[in-house]
Structure 1
Amino acid sequence: MEDLDQISIKIHGCLSFSIFKVNPGNGHVIPAISPKTWSEGNSHTLREDEMEEEIKAEFSNSGFSLDEEEVILRKCLTFCINYSLSPSDLVSSWEVYYLNRQLNESTVHDAEMDGFLLHLQNAVKESIINEEPDLHVYSNKDVDMMFNDGDRYAKEETIGTPTNKLYSHSSELFDSEYQQNGSTFSAGKPSDIVTPFGHRKEKFAVRFSINQPPTEENAKELEPDSEDDFLKKVESRGRCSMILHGVKLDPNCRYMYDRIEDRFNALEGRIKSYSRALILSGVHGELMDPSVASQKSMVSVGMICCDGEGHLNDNSILLQSSDEYSGGQWVRLDLQRLSQFSVFPGQVVGIEGNNPSGHCLIASKIIDSNPLSASADINLPSAKRQALDKEGQIDPSFSDKELSMIIAAGPFTTTDNLFFEPLTELLSSASRKIPQLLILLGPFVDSEHPEIRRGATERSFNEIFHMEILRKLRDYVEYLGDTVRVVLVPSIRDANHDFVFPQPGFDIRSSDLNDQITNLTNPGIFEANQVKVGCCTVDILKHLCGEEMSRNPSDGIPSDRMSRLAYHLLTQQSFYPLYPPAEDVPLDFSLAPDTLNFSVIPNFLILPSDMKYFVKVVSLGGRNESEEQVKCICINPGRLAKGESAGTFVELHYNGNPDTASVSVICI
């Protein structure tokens, strides 16, 4: 017997399958159909040599050549006999297998025959089950249970899991094995398969924290000892309000048809917006054309550009002004007189300096941010503002900005399998901590996962997403009740979603998930309990890190590099101010103006990145007495899974003050 997902037997030297059904009278397992029945029910009149010639001709007509002709034809003949296929049907099935595996060569190799056989088995099995829904396909798990009178899959215990019945149920709920409606499909792993993730020694260890979050000993004291304590803890926190800000992209929106005009308007709009804000501040006076020769000091606004395809350096910095002031002309920018600065391509800045020759603007000061107002808010039409709480209004009881969150970014499974063990562990932890908000950021079905890239999975990307992600989240919210919310943010690395940036949210009907799972655009801003949270899953920090040019940054600009990169996003008021974008970012400029830019500084800015996790409190404004300081907590939660090992996530408790917020980076 071969180690496959179904019971298999040997026929003519190749594998086939057996399907059984249960006799309702005595519970005995009886065969519903056998390979012999298939071959006898549709016997071929052609002799074997004639069939081989016909198979060879069909492959040739479809444009395929055979590498080891004799061996391949003999195996294909066996396939035709065992599965009652004509040579044309066999070649048609090969074409489907060829396309699904994304094979490049038109030569049929013997090494592909085992995979092709599995493809034929699955196709025939599905057709039989569709014709007779009362059939049950028995897996190795079922057979093991019959003989051993027990479950072959052992449940893994999580360190620190309480022993009372309530938490035992929580642990079972998010264990690695799942079944639904009697289906034999299992998302878990057999007990005899121990992954590197299962071998990890440190579980839920705190890697970094600020403002002294509860220690492990204190946390145990806070855990409820009974079901009544658990219910009181859930009820005391209550359901957080939820408002989406900005334009909600339609999941079926038209994209990747942007024109040069769209690109020009998007860039020109950023420069004009910055210019208007600088004029309204009344600090720097009238703006001038930077390309006009002048011995006097002047203030100009433009976008930092690079003269060439390389990185910025002292001799390649250009300033492109707006069409209104200079017709969009470029002028060389000299920063030699500045002892400190930090610039990158696409950054919109104000430059104070002079242009003696008309060919080079000599800067004496860079104005990298406009005055900010702490009371600023997003004033959008009601059609663009969606309240997602049950009553359709904000709960008036939330007068204080208090919120508890758990934040995690994909991938949610390790690279050696598609078991999604890190996600299971995360939900198990969240079911004990009971945060008001669980924020999950893609990728969920990572297009860079080895098995996804090879096409080695038999399930579609949507099936993986619904079975491994949505089903577990549905169990999570159903177990904890209406007090918890989940926010899903897609990624351009999601194989089951649109490859475009900005990116619409997942097309999931909220009614199916009790309005507890919110699908946010990428990027997007939402408000929970009057706490504004901005999210973007494109790795802008990594992209800016490779393009930024700085010199002793200070005077309001953070010297720490991660804080400085986050500071740039806040001062530019854009989730992706870099231009031109990185090569792997499918930026659509027709969608960018309404979704990439934001007009208010959020309380939290979540920026998942491949770079090391961090939590930074970034301050803006406050450079003069009339300007109030605004603070934003910028978070990179890291990746929940890193290769074959565990990653990190963030646990956060916010009480309205960024300086006293409790934030912990925890290793899964």
Structure 2
Amino acid sequence: MTSVSAGDLVDEFECFGVELSIDDDDIIDKLKGFCSIYRLDASDLSSEWIAFVHSRKAGPKNISAELLDVFERERLNKKISKLPKTPKVKKEGSSVIYDLETLPEAVHSEEQGDGLLDTYSTPSFKGGQNKKRQLTPDNLPIKRLTGKGRSPVVPFSPASFSPANATPSRKYGSRTTAGDVVASYGNADKVSWKREAENTASITPWDLTDMLDKPYKFMFQKLADKAHVLNDGVEELAQYLQTHHKIEEFSHVALPVQDEVTVCGRICCDSQGKLNAKSVVLEGSRETSAGRCIPIDLSELKEYSLFPGQVVAFDGINITGQKFVTRKLHKGVPPPQPEKAVKIEADEVVNVMVATGPFSTSDNMMYEPLGDLYKYLQRDQPHLLILMGPFVDSKNEEVEKGTLETTFEEVFQRKMDEISILTQRIQCEVVVVPSQRDVHHDYVYPQPPFRMNSKHKHVRFVSDPCTLRVNNTVIGLTSTDVLLHLSGEEISGPSGSSDRLGRLAKHLLTQHSYYPLNPPSEEVNIDYDKLELYARLPVNPHVLLVPSDLRYFIKDIDGCCCVNPGRLAKGHTGGTYARLRLQPSDKTDSRGVEVSGQVIRV
């Protein structure tokens, strides 16, 4: 808005029959001051004056210094209270310029009834009672995207138009524990973690026919098909339990009997709430129990560990046919042991580095932890690098707010190019596993591999979950946080195992499944047809990788080295990664492979 001149004021007031004299300096200066203070031009000021004198039933020609003071106090001061409180003005009479600090106050001020947003909207009818305008909460969370390859759409806010945050995380940069070993396994203190031999790791799927290697259509499954899959899972595990524990036969779960019998079925909850000792229900298979359910009395069990979806076998009695009083819980049976595929020389050691996303702190997308992982890669030069998502985390603040200046796929492609070039230089094989939290990938479990044409053959994109053979070592891995989901649903007896994390990991082995929980967590969308094909544990692996938000660990469970490497970034600070040493062994207790490992802070 240009500066208001005396001539402009004379012309505008003359339109309403108000005669002003350019020589009347007091009146002209006062009107110019009104235009400057209240950001009005000559036309607006004359309109305000005419409205004022008509409200007082005074003649428009009766203009005086005293009346102008009343005009300012009763008309202009009320108008200024509706304007933004702290606008930035370039100079007297110039236009108003808002920045990111003043615009939120102008937009969201509750005192402005006809404020900034109201000038751009259709006025609504107001009844006899004035009501405050309802405000939309800031920074609404965006759980998932409806489109791929682009930033999510968010409600209007200044932050949605701001450039990406390029400030490094202060908390990450100020950490003092980088490089500390927080967990060890085997002979980790006596081995060399730097690659010495020039041999390479041979990586193949455990079974090519059961390998999920391409996308599929999901959200089309029928309830009948889902029921068949769940029933087949009960009957399959029932055979393992019957053979291992030498059970003669399984009885009907709801059949009244006076003698002690053995029943088998799936653990369920009798309500929509969390499972507890009083709400446990056993659902039998169609073959033995016609799908009937029976409440379970656990009062006589000294030790148990149960969760919804678990297939178990109980010994007990059911006198009335209304409740099964269990007296013994048969232990779960792990899957069969893997057989050697080829003969590997004893000195062919494979060093493996495992890292799980997110690879950037939650307050930015600068990937500082991933940059530090590059340094450890160049230092140790492992034979194999296993990276598990999320790579573009849906829970990152910049992803939720939509402030990224590039698409999600471009961010992922750029990081894959960096990893490919670095690992090719040090002759390191790479396995990349997607995650449910990858914002640019299919939100379904089992999850197909990333759809990406890599220029480097040493980079392999696999599904979540999958089972791989690295030389003679079988490695099972899933990036879905199944341990956290199980921990929220599992119940255990008073004298159960004190090693809760190990107990949760053991459920995966005894249930022969990477995700045995049913119903699943709200964060997981399961396709049950594909779950039956691609989420089963075909063998008892030598190494089971189960990254989780729970505390990191590396421990032996029924001859399997279970590893939770933690996450490379945890919130605004650094997390952990793991390194493993796989060496062929002829020891009877090593199953042909001797594993050593460490969990290290990044």
What TM-score, normalized by structure 1, do the two folds share? 0.63
Higher-helix-fraction structure: 1
1:43 alignment counterpart: none
2:539 alignment counterpart: 600
Distance 1:662 1:376 in 2: 21
In structure 2, the gaps of 5 or more residues are: 1-113, 122-146
For residue 507 of structure 1, report the CA deviation from its aligned partner.
Answer: 1.5
Residue identity matched to 1:272 = E
1:243 alignment counterpart: 204
Task: Point out which structure has higher relative CO (alpha carbons under 8 A, 6+ apart).
Answer: 2
Distance 1:601 1:611 in 2: 23
2:327 alignment counterpart: 364
1:405 aligns with 2:352: yes
Residues 253-264 of structure 1: matches in 2 within 5 Å?
A: 253-264=216-227
For residue 203 of structure 1, report the CA deviation from its aligned partner.
Answer: 2.2
1:274 alignment counterpart: 237
Distance 1:397 1:417 in 2: 45
1:663 alignment counterpart: 597
Show CA shifts across 1:521-570 (max 9, x none). Answer: 1111101011111111111111111111111455xxx5311111111110
2:514 alignment counterpart: 575
Distance 2:549 2:118 in 1: 50
1:68 alignment counterpart: 116
Residue identity matched to 2:430 = V
Change (3 A) 1:568 1:67: same
Contact in 1 for aligned 2:160/2:402 (Cα 8 Å): no
1:633 aligns with 2:561: yes
Contact in 1 for aligned 2:185/2:596 (Cα 8 Å): yes
Show CA shifts across 1:428-450 (max 9, x none). Answer: 21121011111111111000100
Residues 142-541 of structure 1: matches in 2 within 5 Å?
A: 195-214=170-189, 236-246=197-207, 247-281=210-244, 283-370=246-333, 373-374=336-337, 397=344, 402-467=349-414, 469-481=415-427, 484-510=428-454, 512-513=455-456, 515-541=457-483
Change (3 A) 1:293 1:397: closer
2:579 alignment counterpart: 651
Residue identity matched to 1:206 = V
Contact in 2 for aligned 1:281/1:371 (Cα 8 Å): no
Distance 2:541 2:337 in 1: 10
1:414 is paired with a residue whose SS is coil
Contact in 2 for aligned 1:402/1:531 (Cα 8 Å): no
1:457 is paired with a residue whose SS is coil
Contact in 2 for aligned 1:401/1:530 (Cα 8 Å): no
Distance 1:214 1:432 in 2: 17
What TM-score, normalized by structure 2, do the two folds share? 0.70
Q: Which runs of 4+ in 1 moved over 6 A?
A: 69-73, 187-190
Contact in 2 for aligned 1:444/1:494 (Cα 8 Å): yes
Change (3 A) 1:115 1:351: closer
Show CA shifts across 1:344-402 (max 9, x none). Answer: 1100011111211111111111113237643568xxxxxxxxxxxxxxxx876557884
In structure 1, the gaps of 5 or more residues are: 1-65, 74-95, 120-186, 224-232, 378-393, 620-630
For residue 275 of structure 1, report the CA deviation from its aligned partner.
Answer: 1.9
For residue 416 of structure 1, report the CA deviation from its aligned partner.
Answer: 2.0
1:560 alignment counterpart: 499
Change (3 A) 1:548 1:188: closer
Residue identity matched to 2:544 = L
Change (3 A) 1:248 1:329: same
Distance 1:282 1:313 in 2: 27
2:154 alignment counterpart: 103
1:51 alignment counterpart: none
**Quick one: percent identity of the two aligned structures?**
32
The total of aligned residue pairs comes to: 454
For residue 458 of structure 1, report the CA deviation from its aligned partner.
Answer: 1.0
For residue 262 of structure 1, report the CA deviation from its aligned partner.
Answer: 2.2
Contact in 2 for aligned 1:291/1:329 (Cα 8 Å): yes
Flag the structure with larger Rg.
2
1:196 is paired with a residue whose SS is helix
2:492 is paired with a residue whose SS is strand
2:274 is paired with a residue whose SS is coil
Contact in 1 for aligned 2:169/2:364 (Cα 8 Å): no
Distance 2:119 2:277 in 1: 66
Distance 2:426 2:165 in 1: 22
1:277 is paired with a residue whose SS is helix
Decide which moves more: 280-289 or 332-341: 280-289
1:128 alignment counterpart: none
Show CA shifts across 1:280-325 (max 9, x none). Answer: 4471111211111111121111001110012222221110000111
Change (3 A) 1:420 1:448: same
